[in-house]
Amino acid sequence: MKPRRVLTFAKLIIVGFTLPVLAADPLPSWNDTTPKKAIIAFVERVTKEGSPDFVPVPERIATFDNDGTLWAEQPMYFQLLFALDRVKALAPQHPEWKTREPFASLLKGDVKGALAGGEKAMLEIVMVTHAGMTTAEFEQVVKDWLATAKHPKFIRSYTECVYQPMLELLAYLRANGFKTFIVSGGGIEFMRPWTERVYGIPPEQVVGSSIKTKFEMRAGKPVLVRQAEIDFIDDKTGKPVGINSHIGRRPIAAFGNSDGDREMLEWTQAGDGARLLMLVHHDDAEREFAYDRKSHIGQLDKAWDEAVAKGWTVVSMKDDWKRVFAFER
């Protein structure tokens, strides 16, 4: 560097160090309503040194549900749509499926009929589409599907169907020293192949449901083979269990959208100190979907009552979000 340049560079650094930064709005897709104010007030309280609510950086843990909180979950959980596509792709190798439920109905396009078999049918679909392969093979199948599959309403890839305000919230929390985790009922290995790219959340910060894996040597190489056996369901009372198992520390902020997130918010609230508890309410049929107390997917009923009783923040997608998706005009 030449002396003159060095001086200019030094000035730049000094300005950067000594002038308060006039930061741009960190949450531009949020309207200036209660939720945005609650988020900013909370972050300022816990990050201000000397404040009674100050939280040291290692304890700034924030957990996010995924389906319906970070990305959409209608008309069906995306992982279920993935499983249905896989059944179709695998059908030629399974001629017996033509006459065996739940596959027979599925292959005729009758999803409702297939799911009439309840949890047993659902589990059978999951097992034939998610098990019997190595973890590396499954990761590739997920990536390949995401590269081509489109959401039926938005005609966009599923990883584009993520909520822009929540992406901003994740980035804002991380810029303030938070470690952001996903705590989802969805499959942990279904999420990990893309959460880092889409949310900036690395695989080790993803908590989810899982099936068992088994270590095997194949041609002298170790592999993990996905077994047709449930290991853990990370939903409802399972969420605090999953948080304890994977994080080992109580979050100070938790974000969800349905009754499946209720215990996560209760667990988060039960610690000492400032807390931020938030539920996304899907009330925007035009830009996204409108559903709550009576929905089969993402039901928001008991958690809503509890939010009102306990002072959790309920976010109206319609009123509190300027924009839902990045792809909107």
Q: Residues interacting with a second copy, by CB under 8 A?
A: 1, 6-7, 9-11, 13-14, 18, 58, 61, 135, 179, 188-189, 192, 196, 202-206, 210, 213-215, 221-222, 224, 231, 237-238, 240-241, 244-249, 263, 266-267, 270
Q: Give whichever of 234 and 283 is closer to a second copy, judged by the CB atom.
A: 234
Q: How far is the CB of 244 from a second copy (least distance, A)?
A: 5
Q: How far is the CB of 10 from a second copy (least distance, A)?
A: 4
Of 271, 275, 285, the C-alpha closest to 307 is 275
Task: Pull the structure tokens for residue 236.
Answer: 């409802």
Pair 287, 154: CB distance under 8 Å: no
Q: How far is the CB of 133 from a second copy (least distance, A)?
A: 14
Q: How far is the CB of 204 from a second copy (least distance, A)?
A: 5
Q: Give whichever of 47 and 135 is closer to a second copy, judged by the CB atom.
A: 135
Distance CA 101, CA 17 (A): 66
Residue 225, beta-bridge partner list? 134, 214
Q: How far is the CB of 175 from a second copy (least distance, A)?
A: 17
Residue 210, beta-bridge partner list? 232
Q: Give whichever of 236 and 323 is closer to a second copy, judged by the CB atom.
A: 236
Q: Give whichever of 74 and 205 is closer to a second copy, judged by the CB atom.
A: 205
Backbone angles phi, psi at 255, to 5 degrees: -130, 130
The gap from C-alpha 185 to its chain's centroid, in whole angstroms, comes to 9
Q: How far is the CB of 324 from a second copy (least distance, A)?
A: 29
Return the residue matching tokens 């700034």: 60
Task: Pull the structure tokens for residue 279.
Answer: 């539920």
Q: Give whichever of 57 and 116 is closer to a second copy, judged by the CB atom.
A: 57
Q: Give whichever of 35 and 251 is closer to a second copy, judged by the CB atom.
A: 251
Residues with Cβ < 8 Å from 202, sequence gap 6 or more?
Answer: 195, 196
